[in-house]
Structure 1
Amino acid sequence: MRGGSAVLLALGLMVTTAAGAQSSQPDDEIAASANSSAVTPIAGSQRYYPAPGQPFQLSSPADPSTSTLTKAEGDLRVATLHAELTGDGSSERPIQQLIASLSGGQHAQARAIAQTAQINDPDVLVLTGVTYDDDGQIPELLRTQYLASGQRGESAIDYPYVYAAPTNSGLESGADLDGDGTIGGAGDAIGYGEFAGQHSTVVFSKHPILTDQVRTFQNFLWRDLPENSLPESRFSDLEQSIIRLYQSSLWDIPVQVDEDRAPVHIIGSAIPLPEDPTGIDLVRADDQRRVLAEYAAGNAWYLTDDDGAHGGLPAGHPFVVAGQHSAPQPLAAESEDLDILLENAALQDPRPRAVTEQPLTGRSGTPWHTDHTATRAVPGERDVRASYVLPSAALGVSQSGVFWPAEGEYGYEVVDPQSRFGLQNRLVWVDLQDLG
């Protein structure tokens, strides 16, 4: 298996979880609206009209009565959500604390993540911002006790295949990378983080993951990128020899959707950008997006994966880029170079929009809402588009969306900013056809 100590979890894997008290109690205050019918049958038709806030497909824009809640037969729904499900950095054992709080299936945030996934039912789900543990207990708990358990009236989802791997987040560098005069802490980690593995990614799939073909790029050094933006005057030769390009990692995960077709490569990564007064992480993120675009286009001849193989994705392979590729803060996002991804000829941007009957700009108390493609709510500021699903240009896109229902619409409880149950980030999905 590529990717070093990467963890592949399969159906039925037994996991021993750490003992401890739950960090959250069942959410009795959540309305039982999820138990109401999600779809309304149309008289004389086998099709269904979706409830507000749910993904839908229009057979004809002029005939909404032909809408159907489910994706078209043969389509592949790929989704990503920045989960922000991490251990408490102030805890002596943050990973064990998170495992203990997830055990039992009552962690409020994990339930909201699972309910969001269950409403949208992706075939491949890329969760960014999830803490990594060597034994794979965290993804297995999410799989078995949350996703495979119906949340508030939703249907469970079975993901037999799960992929998780180590990350640079929180990995001690042994150097004073943030220049504060001391060694240690989140700013001196190879990738920003209060403890090793704090910000990683988990991929859940209904289809087999070809683990022997997975490529990871955790160890690739920033200085080894041709024409890189590494500020050499800021770092010593020793420091340049340990600074890796990715703050988390870059993964290429082949998923076998159809035995008679080439696998679809899920190219996942996340850019966990902290409040960085030096601006170095923003420059680093631009270089990460450049490598991501060149890898997808097959032009990353310089790139070496963690097993020593060279080059980018071979030409002709269907792929989808998914994850958090932009800053979650509005001011930081304004200074980013996203065109290298969004204007790349090898990629297409479906520009998924909020699936809602009530425009974001017209919602009470949200004067900063201006963009229906936003994926993250930022209280008191304008919302930002931070998470992306970008298919290869050769793939067909039948529909796409951002799960952002309004008050009174189905599923609102998981995005309600007034609820402790509500998530700050939104799931974004794309339905793909003509998979090759």
Structure 2
Amino acid sequence: MPVTAQAETLRIATYNASLTRNGAGLMLAAIERGQDERLARVAAIIQTVRPDILLINELDHDPEGRALAALQTYLTTGRMGAEGITYAHVLTAPVNTGVLTGQDLDGDGHAFGPRDAQGFGRFPGQYGMAILSRYDISGFRSFQEVLWSDLPGAIPPEGVFAGQRLSSKSHWDVEVRVAGRPLHLLASHPTPPVFDGPEDFNGRRNHDETMFWVQYLSGQAFRDDQGQTTPAPTAPVLLLGDLNADPFDGDARRDALSALLSHPRLQDPTPMSDGAVAAARAQVGANAGHQGDPAQDTADWNDDRGPGNLRVDYVLPDARLTVLGSGVFWPAPGQPGADLLGEGRDQASDHRLVWVDIDWPG
């Protein structure tokens, strides 16, 4: 009698965990000491949601991957009442933050500051990225070295440095094999569209970092750092990361994000939370003038000066996959897990973990 393959629920998440410090090796030291309350909160949130595959934005990268290995071990022990979780497979790679260009890009008279790098950073690898997975990581393409000028239709400001790379961190296409089938994770962390002048350098770059994915999914072939020039795979994809752009509010140029959210290869489950609604009501300020649904917010930002709480973190599954559920880990006060978020300096992160469950064919 033939055996029918069983589908399984696959939970995939993205989390800008703010695991960054202002000096190389400081985050690694904090993880190894294991006495950082914010780190314990981050770990407990991950252990509570228990994603099968997790992208972390803002984990400082080091060439040997020691910080990621330390975090991998740290997560195996339960934190703040949560049960430990084991990720057998991890991946990290270099990013553009802190990689000096040799140019005085900010015009301050020297060429060794954080704004003189390919991506804003005080040292190479600050604000890095990492993948943690229960499943085998079987392929990897990075587009860290793609020049801004290599993107068709790019909109850099006049006079931009000719060697300026597109990605402020990196763009990754990571193949994970689940039940023998490939799933491609498209991961990135575009620059915030603020902290610049009237030239709108960061706003334009944020737009084009997102537009890279729109073009890649539409068949544009880019040369990767491994020397291959091929378009996106035909296998299922899932795009995730902190895109630093909200569909309705904030300072981003929204047409690139709109094109991504409506791309025929993707679907948007619009994850929500009760905590985001409660925060928007309590904090008022900039939130009072927002057009978007506060239930979809994923970042808890300044309400007096702005921009207020926004939706900037995304998990967008392939349109061919069946979504079983989704959410943002942002419990309202009094709900289970609300104490894990913390407040002020003890806040786990100013972003919230976003997850999506998909029905993966066995």
* Structure 1 CA distance for aligned equivalents of residues 189 and 361 of structure 2: 25
Deviation at 1:361, TM superposition (A): 6.2
Task: Indicate conservation of the 8 Å contact 1:139/1:202, yes or no.
Answer: yes
Deviation at 1:287, TM superposition (A): 1.2
Are 1:164 and 2:85 an aligned pair? no
Task: Indicate conservation of the 8 Å contact 1:326/1:336, yes or no.
Answer: no
| More off after superposition, 288-297 vs 250-259 | 288-297
Listed as ranges, the gaps of 5+ residues in structure 2 are 1-5
Deviation at 1:221, TM superposition (A): 0.9
Of residues 278, 281, 291, the one that matches 1:360 is 278
Structure 1, residues 113-157: CA drift from partner, whole Å, max 9, x if none? 111111111000100011100111111111102x11101111111
Structure 1, residues 261-319: CA drift from partner, whole Å, max 9, x if none? x211111111132512241121112111111122234x122x1000110122122x011
Question: TM-score of the superposition, structure 2-length normalised?
Answer: 0.89
Q: 3-state SS of the aligned residue for 1:95?
A: coil
Give the equivalent residue in structure 2 for 1:83.
Answer: 17
Are 1:103 and 2:32 an aligned pair? yes
CA 279–362 in structure 1, closer or farther in 2 if over 3 Å, else same: closer
| More off after superposition, 101-110 vs 384-393 | 101-110
Give the equivalent residue in structure 2 for 1:14.
Answer: none
Give the equivalent residue in structure 2 for 1:220.
Answer: 146
Are 1:148 and 2:76 an aligned pair? yes
Q: 3-state SS of the aligned residue for 2:25?
A: helix
* Structure 2 CA distance for aligned equivalents of residues 384 and 131 of structure 1: 24
Structure 1, residues 346-396: CA drift from partner, whole Å, max 9, x if none? 11111111156x942675445627511110001324201111000111111
Letter in 1 for 2:171: L
CA 283–435 in structure 1, closer or farther in 2 if over 3 Å, else same: farther
* Structure 2 CA distance for aligned equivalents of residues 95 and 220 of structure 1: 25
Deviation at 1:424, TM superposition (A): 1.2
Q: 3-state SS of the aligned residue for 2:229?
A: coil
Q: 3-state SS of the aligned residue for 1:388?
A: strand
Are 1:185 and 2:113 an aligned pair? yes
* Structure 1 CA distance for aligned equivalents of residues 349 and 328 of structure 2: 13
Of residues 182, 186, 195, the one that matches 1:267 is 186
* Structure 2 CA distance for aligned equivalents of residues 73 and 418 of structure 1: 42
Identity of paired residues, percent? 32
Higher helix share: 2
Of residues 248, 264, 270, the one that matches 2:169 is 248
Task: Indicate conservation of the 8 Å contact 1:417/1:423, yes or no.
Answer: no
Aligned length in residues: 346
CA 421–227 in structure 1, closer or farther in 2 if over 3 Å, else same: closer
Give the equivalent residue in structure 2 for 1:118.
Answer: 47
Structure 1, residues 48-98: CA drift from partner, whole Å, max 9, x if none? xxxxxxxxxxxxxxxxxxxxxxxx96011100011111122xxxxx22222
Of residues 220, 225, 241, the one that matches 1:300 is 220
Higher strand share: 2
Give the equivalent residue in structure 1 for 2:241.
Answer: 323
* Structure 1 CA distance for aligned equivalents of residues 320 and 280 of structure 2: 36
Question: TM-score of the superposition, structure 1-length normalised?
Answer: 0.74
Q: Which has the larger radius of gyration?
A: 1
* Structure 2 CA distance for aligned equivalents of residues 425 and 342 of structure 1: 20
Post-superposition, which runs of at least 4 consecutive aligned residues in structure 1 deviate over 6 A?
none
Are 1:285 and 2:206 an aligned pair? yes
Q: 3-state SS of the aligned residue for 2:84?
A: coil
Task: Indicate conservation of the 8 Å contact 2:9/2:358, yes or no.
Answer: yes
Are 1:234 and 2:159 an aligned pair? yes
Of residues 179, 185, 201, the one that matches 1:258 is 179
Task: Indicate conservation of the 8 Å contact 1:186/1:194, yes or no.
Answer: yes
Task: Indicate conservation of the 8 Å contact 1:413/1:419, yes or no.
Answer: no
Are 1:377 and 2:300 an aligned pair? yes
Letter in 2 for 1:375: T
Q: 3-state SS of the aligned residue for 2:223?
A: coil
Pairwise CA RMSD: 2.3
Task: Indicate conservation of the 8 Å contact 2:204/2:253, yes or no.
Answer: no
Deviation at 1:230, TM superposition (A): 2.4
Structure 1, residues 398-430: CA drift from partner, whole Å, max 9, x if none? 110011101111111222435614421100000
Listed as ranges, the gaps of 5+ residues in structure 1 are 1-71, 89-93
Task: Indicate conservation of the 8 Å contact 1:110/1:142, yes or no.
Answer: no
